[in-house]
Amino acid sequence: MEKQIEFIKSLQSIANDFLDFLFNAFSFLGEQFILIAILAFIYFVLDKEKGEFIAIILFSTTLLNNALKGIFLAKRPFEIDSDIINKRPSSSTGSSFPSGHSQIGATFYSSIYLYYPKKVNLYLISIVILLIGLSRIYLGVHFPTDVIVGIALGVIVAIFINYIYTKFKDYKFQIHLLILFIFTPLLFFYEDFNLFIKIGKDFYKGYALLLGFILALYIEKKFVDFSNDVKIRTRLLRFIGGLLTAIIVYVSLKFAFIKIDTIITSFIRYFLLTFITIGLYPLLFLKVKFLK
């Protein structure tokens, strides 16, 4: 622990405004907004099935990470040593082990490589994953062990679910339900209310996203089943519309529930985010000419 603290301090000893900006940018590459934007681009523009696969992996690794955080309840570096500066308080509200940014980022970018396995992609993705991990250490929000374990878990999750998808490719919906079933018991894990607020809320958000996404996939495939085999202009318009839909749903529901921000309203908000964007929004493809 002492050596890790000293390593963090040595990184922060060379800190300046430029490095702060740079490492905050690297950290952003592992945060939900940029990941969802990339995911939406893959889903609506490049390949719907690949986007679906990456989304399931992303939500699964998020749930696993939040569950582990709830089990270990590790303190962050700046909570242990006051000389360490928390340079990104907006993304350091939960416990420390394992690093969420490192794990989720490693899973997300590794899953992209698994579907686009070119050597140049391997190099680029490896660099991105390492920079996200290093940024979390520099910013004072994680120990090196948090990052190392997070990256390892992220890669393992991506490889494992990719194997399951490949092995049982005709049973995707059943796989989705199985993943949901595995995490369901953890909804009742947080008996201590204060612990629930600190850790469990993020788990419930992740579960809501996954549940909404799985139900949305069923709706989309049954009533729309759109194809990416259309003009690039149409695909880009679908992507822009999808992003706008997600933003409108997220912001409007957050504003609607601003005075009643509870676990239940948070669950509803995140459930509707994926359910509307993936399940209901594509219904417009059947009605609106320029989206067909």
Residue 197's pLDDT is: 46
Residue 193's pLDDT is: 44
Residue 276's pLDDT is: 95
Residue 128's pLDDT is: 95
Residue 144's pLDDT is: 95
Residue 200's pLDDT is: 59
Contacts of 123 (CB under 8 A, 6+ apart): none
Tokens of 110: 């590794």
Residue 129's pLDDT is: 96
Q: Give the residue among 170, 227, 172, 224 at the shortest CA–CA distance from 57.
A: 172
Tokens of 76: 């962050």
pLDDT in tens, 218-260: 999 999 999 999 999 999 999 999 999 999 999 998 888 877 7
Query: The pTM is what?
Result: 0.89
Residues of the chain with pLDDT under 50: 191-194, 196-197
Q: Give the residue among 9, 28, 5, 20 at the shortest CA–CA distance from 90.
A: 28
Contacts of 174 (CB under 8 A, 6+ apart): 168
Helix axes 232-256, 263-274, angle to 10 degrees: 170
Max Cα separation, the chain? 63
Q: List Cα–Cα distances, 36 to 76, 104, 138, 214, in angstroms.
A: 26, 12, 25, 16
Contact predicate 11/138, CB 8 Å: yes
